[in-house]
Amino acid sequence: MDNSAPVFDYTPESIRALADKTFNDFEDRAKKIAAIPEENRDFKNTVLAFEHATSDFSEALQIPIFLAYVSGNAELRKVAQELELKVSQYSVDLFTREDIFRALNEYASKGEKPGVVETRLLDKTLLDFKRNGLGLEPLPRARVKKLMKELIDIELQFSKNLREVNDALALTEAELAGMPEDFKTRLKKTPEGKYLVTMNTPDFIPFMDNAENGDARRRLELLFNNRCVPANVELMEKAIALRRKISKLLGYPTFAAYVLADRMAADTGNVTAFLERTWAKLKKKGRKELRDRLKLKGGEEKVLRAWEWRYYNNQLKKTKYSIDHEKIKEYFPLETVVKGMFDVFGDVFGVSFAPAPLPVWNKDVRAYEVKNSDGAVAAYFYFDLFPRDGKYKHAACFGIRHGRELADGSYELPAAGIVANFPPSSGDTPPLLKFNDVVTFFHEFGHVTHNIFTRSRYGKFSGTSVSRDFVEVPSKMLENWAFEPSVLRRISGHFRNPAEKLPEAMITKLVEAKNMDSGLVYLRQLFFSLLDMRYHTAKGKVDTTKVYEKLMKKISLIPMSPGSHPQASFGHLMGGYEAGYYSYLWSEVIASDLFGAFKAAGVMDAATGAKYRELILAPGRSYDEAGQVEKFLGRPSREDAFLKSIGAE
């Protein structure tokens, strides 16, 4: 098998031609599987043949679809977006096919025991069909299929609207008071000479953190939280209604119950109890933090507004901890952080990251070979780190190719990339990362480790293809290293003098300040999680704005800005985390417990890294996730490490 690096040199025409061929090839293979006489069925010609066919289909189209998020060619993005919709809708067709479902059931009825992972593969594949309506009468099954296709269309339109946002707020020089010069230097201007502050993360977050003009922050926050309004509000409410109809047809009381039936959490009762238990532990800390920020704000009003909390949080960091993140970023030039991060996790996981002249999708993309200690290439890895028109707006890890065993017995090397929007260079100043950017970088690199260290035999279980409430465990795990003094020394170096590391006093303050706002930060996480569950357990029509407004004030302690519609840009609920946003907290609890093993052995301990790689990263979903965690820890996971880590015991 040729295990060379992926290629990205697609054109709109070649994507269309590849799609046609891939769909036709898959249909031929599916028909052959269905046509096998029942008495001749075995694991290899039925279950394994279907797994290879679906994985080959997915792999062939994965990069063309990925290009919808990163290509600089608008026509190619359009064709790739159309392909993504077609594939998503075709997957509904596929998992409602009676002939394949019958074939799998014919094999299952033989009662063979092909192996633990193989039995799990059969069970999970059959479950995919059942969750798409197989087993229902023809009429409701056809209804489920139709509704699922409508839902996919709505979700992809929601995401497309967000990707194409190019709103900006025009501000005067005076209204940029408090912003550093490198921020102003890179902003575009209107013909009248005003500065354009966009909705992109490198503009929005620093402005909300630092701009002294409260009204300018209010206007930017309102613009930001009214992106894609009213279109996306309508799309989200349609999606919630469709999900409710689908779940009822499939025999579930709510959409959340339908989703959780195939998650670690198992049911809505467990999720609600977990969220309420955590809320009870955090309320006291959150209220104290709110009082501290209101004291700093001063004045008569005893309310911290949505456009104020980031600013006063940042002011408190500067006063209480003497942390000026604009100053600190001078010690985190991107190149130094990348090198340090590679060194740190190279030591922990026993690999090296070597720059390589591989094909890329844009001239700004950097490519690497991931090599094991014996020098053999284990995976391919890419960075695409700066904003550009038409590109995905946030930070994410994209699986570019799944690692899996191919039909000829060889192993296809995985590939993954971090797509982010960090501030680019400004004048003669290189790209500098705020400490929050560093934490984000480590988070996304955690997802990368899940992808590149997979040794799953089957594509269905490869890398991040785990339960949705486990997928954030490796990413939350790696965030912990960003707060370790020994690691901060390795990843820092002043951009004018790389030998000048982040001062020890500042390292101490950063670590001490880690939990200065953990009450409010996690109350905000709880708000999003509870909002998601409220949307997806509702029995009737949901007014998403009204529910958002009521819950935000109650749970996060900060009210929603009048006239804003933040749910219109809450992409997680239209991109895989619907009825699953709790997964971030759920995963962080597990990750904190796992990190305790590294703390006990030493955060750079290679033996613990190898054990973590073997038991948590390599299997993907080949085994029960809770069981793998228990193997690693020697006991079931507990919540106390998490509460201790955020100062909320």
What residues act catalytically?
444
Tokens of 550: 């009521």
Tokens of 275: 């969220």
Contact, 250 vs 166, CB < 8 A? Answer: no
SS3 category, 36: coil
Which amino acid makes up residue 557? Answer: L
SS3 category, 366: strand
d(CA 559, CA 301): 13
User: Could you tell me the maximum CA-CA distance found in the chain, to the nearest angstrom?
Assistant: 81
Contact, 169 vs 223, CB < 8 A? Answer: yes
Cα Rg of the chain, angstroms? 25
Cα angle for residues 30, 31, 33 (degrees, 5° grid): 65
How distant, in Å, are the alpha carbons of 176, 180, 181, 384, 426 from that of 187?
11, 12, 10, 21, 10
Both ends of the chain: CA-CA distance in Å? Answer: 53
DSSP output for 87-132: HHHHHHHHTT-HHHHHHHHHHHTT-----HHHHHHHHHHHHHHHTT
Phi, psi of 169, rounded to the nearest 5 degrees: -105, 125
Tokens 């094909």 map to which residue? Answer: 359
Q: Under 8 Å CB-to-CB from 342, ≥6 apart: which residues?
A: 352, 353
Task: Provide the residue count of the chain.
Answer: 649
The Cβ of residue 14 has, within 10 Å, a number of other Cβ atoms equal to: 13
Burial string for 45-84 (b: 16+ CB within 10 Å, else e) reads ebbbbbbbbbbbbbbbbbbbbbbbbbbeeeebbebbbbbb
Write the DSSP symbol of residue 333. Answer: B
Name 173's bridge partners: none
Contact, 108 vs 87, CB < 8 A? Answer: no
d(CA 78, CA 259): 30
